[in-house]
Amino acid sequence: MHHIQLGAIDYVILIVYFAFVLGIGWTLRRFVKSGEDFFLSGRAIPAWVAGLAFMSANLGAQEVIGMGASGAKYGMMTSHFYWLGAIPAMVFVGIFMMPFYYGSRARSVPEYLKLRFDEKTRGFNAITFAVMTVFSSGISMYALAKLLELVLGWNFNVSILTSAAIVLVYIFLGGLTSAIYNEVLQFFLIVLGFLPLVLLGLKDVGGWAGLTAKLQTVATQAGFAPGAWSHSWRYVGNAHANPMGVEWFGLVMGLGFVLSFGYWCTDFLVVQRAMAANSMSAARRTPLLAAIPKMLFPFLVIVPGMIAIALHVTRGGLLPLGADGTPNYNLAVPVMLGHYLPTGLLGLGLTALMASFMSGMAGNVTAFNTVWTYDIYQSYIRPGQSDTHYLRMGQAATIFGILFSVAAAYVTTRFNNIMDMLQLVFAFVNAPLFATFLLGMFWRRTTGHGAFFGLLIGTGVAALHNGLVLPLGDVPGIKGGFLGTVLHTYPSEMAQNFWTAIFAWTACFAATIVISLLTKRNKSDEDLKGLVYALTPRLKDRESPWYKQPATLGVIVLGLTVVLNVIFW
Amino acid sequence: MKLDVRLPIGMMFTLLGAILVVYGLVSDRSIYARSLGINVNLWWGLVLLAFGLVMLAFALRGGRRGDAGAP
């Protein structure tokens, strides 16, 4: 394809950004004196900073590129990832789960599992999480480098190594604080870098009304009802009536409940930001404050994809075609940047893209180095060393974590839509995990054996389900059907992933209950104080002003989300 | 507080805003054909500049308050 030409001014903007992220790492390096400083920011982060970092750490490749791609591919239904998935889960983690995470003083999610259940459950979670994290970070890096190569003609290897080196330096120097501060900076850069694109795009297509009119052509050409690209709920009655290929039950249970709660409530990458907050109240408000910008993000990341497909179909050939003749959806956002932004703002938009990749990657790297150091190295390899020893190990883990990610980036070359791949990985590991946490936090009878074998069974069922089904039009292989026989064919990969998650969660939930009832409790009520709902004193937040009360914030956030769902029904 | 995060954010956006405003003033009008004829560098540069200055103001005010509160 034709490369977008950059001017000197665009490079100046990019370099200013690089200088600032490195500068933040450099300035913060003298505050890193202990393990707690490096891994937990000394638990001194104010709620709004932790909140923006909480949201930004998740703003990696899957968000900006993947959501733009999904916006083009599935239209307004992509908003379910936010208004059905993320927001309710974020409210839940803030109000109901944070008291146990923060209150237990656990330093990581696996460590909570050790306190609540036992060593093997922690070990299983720590190892799967470490592997998954390295992979996510590799996918981000791959996506970034591939895009820059395609859109700008930059060298794939140079892009990967440069972005990896910058993230490495600022985390190595300043630890989690540096990652969090940069995530806040990156958050503003992403918003201010992409907003002009949305505004110009909407102005060009004639506002929201003009966009929906053009999307009718897109929908009818693809063989759907005219409104299929501009409504989120109207066509989910039947899986074949909407571009995502899912029906309401799979959507609500698979995405809205299992996958979203599994991700936002148990993934240490995001939970770590809240654990770094400076008080229990701040930790609980972290996901709630993050939910407010989060609910507006569809307008920033999904709408550009929708505009791109509208222009592609009605004005012809905006998006380059892939080998199979379908548009390359992953290019929706970068192509739009080149289409609307002149030299100058183009540099800003590109820098925003870079910032999103870096924030996602830094999130993965800080989560990895903490889990590696505390939950693997300190637990199984070298226990009982000094704090300085573990601090040094954390810094070393930052380096080899990034090296592993770079390796993973080179492995990641087989998927057209990165989102689907990530959903697949999350379905195997995260979906059963949420059942374990739910039972662990709200049912004191849940035992260590129940949790561990429940998790194994859940993950096994995820793999089994995936091995026996296939998305429509795919051949058996990594995408499914690898067990030889295909028992069921889903209308889309997305639907398959949602159902894998539902099966995995249900299997883990049921197996954990049955095994817990058959095994002896390994923790007494005394041990479980502060770890289980019924055994933890209620938090009093009546005294604080209303805007600082988690429950009040949660109700407001949920109310606004309902309104958004209704408007774009 | 170790470092007020609003300080680097304010500095960066003030700088980026200033760069874009200056570039918007000196750049050739023809590059704005793709942005629907709007000099987006100038206008968005002003938005960034304003945002950066507001952040800097918050950081400086916060810093002074922090000093006053110190023993």
The one-letter amino acid at A340: Y
In this predicted structure, what is the pLDDT of residue A216? 84
Chain A residues within an 8 Å CB radius of B45: 344
In this predicted structure, what is the pLDDT of residue A426? 61
Residue B64, class by beta-carbon neighbours within 10 Å (0-12 exposed, 13-18 middle, 19+ buried)?
exposed
In this predicted structure, what is the pLDDT of residue A13? 94
Mutate which of A16, A345, A350, A359 to disrupt the B interface (most B C-beta within 10 Å)?
Answer: A345
In this predicted structure, what is the pLDDT of residue A421? 60
Sign of CA dihedral A228, A229, A234, A236: positive
Smallest CA–CA distance, residue B53 to chain A, in Å, is 14
Mean pLDDT along residues B11-17 = 95
Residue A506, class by beta-carbon neighbours within 10 Å (0-12 exposed, 13-18 middle, 19+ buried)?
middle
Helix axes A448-468, A418-442, angle to 10 degrees: 150
* Distances from the Cα of A274 to the Cα of A103, A362, A440, A562, angstroms: 12, 16, 20, 25
- Is residue A274 within 8 A of residue A287, CB to CB? The reply is yes
pLDDT at B55 over 90: yes
% of chain A residues with pLDDT over 90: 34
| Contacts (Cβ under 8 Å, ≥6 apart) of A543 | none
- Out of A27, A49, A204, name the one closest to residue B36 (CB): A204
Burial letters A472-500, b for 16+ CB under 10 A, else e:
eebeeeebbbeeeebeeebbbbbbbbbbb
Binary contact (A345, B11; C-beta < 8 A): no
- Out of A23, A181, A342, name the one closest to residue B35 (CB): A342
Residues of A contacting chain B (CB within 8 angstroms): 9, 12-13, 16-17, 20, 23-24, 27-28, 31, 44, 49, 177, 181, 184-185, 188, 192, 196, 200, 203-204, 339-345, 348
Chain B residues within an 8 Å CB radius of A177: 2
Binary contact (A28, B32; C-beta < 8 A): no
pLDDT at A509 over 90: yes
**Cα distance between residue A318 and residue A332, in whole Å:** 9
Rounded to two decimals, the pTM is 0.91
Per-residue pLDDT band for A224 (boundaries 50, 70, 90) equals: confident
- Is residue A451 within 8 A of residue A117, CB to CB? The reply is yes
Task: Name which residue leads in pLDDT, B41 or B63.
Answer: B41
- CA nearest A24 in B: which residue? B8
Chain B residues within an 8 Å CB radius of A187: none
In this predicted structure, what is the pLDDT of residue B68? 34
% of chain A residues with pLDDT over 70: 96
pLDDT in tens, A453-501: 999 999 889 888 888 888 877 777 667 777 777 888 888 888 888 888 8
Per-residue pLDDT band for A131 (boundaries 50, 70, 90) equals: confident
Mean pLDDT along residues A79-104 = 90
Binary contact (B40, A342; C-beta < 8 A): yes
In DSSP terms, A489 is beta-bridged to: A470
pLDDT at B71 over 50: no
Mutate which of B40, B49, B54, B58 to disrupt the A interface (most A C-beta within 10 Å)?
Answer: B40
In DSSP terms, A277 is beta-bridged to: A45
Mutate which of B6, B9, B20, B54 to disrupt the A interface (most A C-beta within 10 Å)?
Answer: B9
- Is residue A375 within 8 A of residue A108, CB to CB? The reply is yes
- Out of A13, A23, A184, name the one closest to residue B19 (CB): A13
pLDDT in tens, A301-323: 999 999 998 888 888 777 878 77
- CA nearest A19 in B: which residue? B12
Chain A residues within an 8 Å CB radius of B47: 192
Binary contact (A343, B31; C-beta < 8 A): yes
Smallest CA–CA distance, residue B56 to chain A, in Å, is 13
Q: What angle do CA A263, A267, A269 make, to 5 degrees?
A: 120
Chain A residues within an 8 Å CB radius of B35: 200, 340-342, 345
In this predicted structure, what is the pLDDT of residue A62? 65
pLDDT in tens, A450-460: 999 999 999 88
Mean pLDDT along residues A556-569 = 87
pLDDT in tens, A241-272: 888 888 888 888 888 888 889 888 888 888 99
Residue B1, class by beta-carbon neighbours within 10 Å (0-12 exposed, 13-18 middle, 19+ buried)?
exposed
In this predicted structure, what is the pLDDT of residue A335? 87
The one-letter amino acid at A504: A
Mean pLDDT along residues A519-530 = 85
Binary contact (A13, B24; C-beta < 8 A): no
Instruction: Select from A239, A245, A228, A222 the least CA-distant residue to A494.
Output: A245
Binary contact (A188, B3; C-beta < 8 A): no
pLDDT in tens, A398-436: 999 999 888 888 776 655 455 456 656 666 777 788 999
Three-state secondary-structure class, residue A470: strand
pLDDT at A353 over 50: yes
Three-state secondary-structure class, residue A117: coil
**Cα distance between residue A446 and residue A116, in whole Å:** 9
Task: Provide the ipTM.
Answer: 0.91
Q: Considering chain A, what is the average pLDDT of its residues?
A: 86
**Cα distance between residue A308 and residue A321, in whole Å:** 13
User: Residue with structure tokens 């109240």?
Assistant: A281
Smallest CA–CA distance, residue A462 to chain B, in Å, is 42
- Is residue A79 within 8 A of residue A248, CB to CB? The reply is no
- Out of A203, A344, A348, name the one closest to residue B27 (CB): A344
- Is residue A205 within 8 A of residue A212, CB to CB? The reply is no
- CA nearest B1 in A: which residue? A44
Binary contact (B2, A31; C-beta < 8 A): yes
Binary contact (A192, B13; C-beta < 8 A): yes
* Distances from the Cα of A385 to the Cα of A119, A378, A399, angstroms: 19, 8, 20
- Is residue A50 within 8 A of residue A274, CB to CB? The reply is yes
In this predicted structure, what is the pLDDT of residue A409? 80
Binary contact (A17, B12; C-beta < 8 A): yes
In this predicted structure, what is the pLDDT of residue A541? 65
Burial letters A519-553, b for 16+ CB under 10 A, else e:
eeeebeeeebebbbbeebeeeebeeeeeeebbbeb
The region of weakest confidence among A82-91, A193-202, A531-540 is A531-540
pLDDT in tens, A279-299: 888 999 999 999 999 999 999
Chain A residues within an 8 Å CB radius of B34: 339-342
DSSP strands (E only) in A504-543: none
Smallest CA–CA distance, residue A209 to chain B, in Å, is 19
Per-residue pLDDT band for A87 (boundaries 50, 70, 90) equals: very high
The one-letter amino acid at A555: V
**A317 φ/ψ sector (left φ>0, alpha ψ -120 to 50, else beta):** left
Binary contact (A188, B9; C-beta < 8 A): yes
Residues in chain B: 71
Chain B residues within an 8 Å CB radius of A204: 36
Number of H helices, E strands in chain A: 23, 2
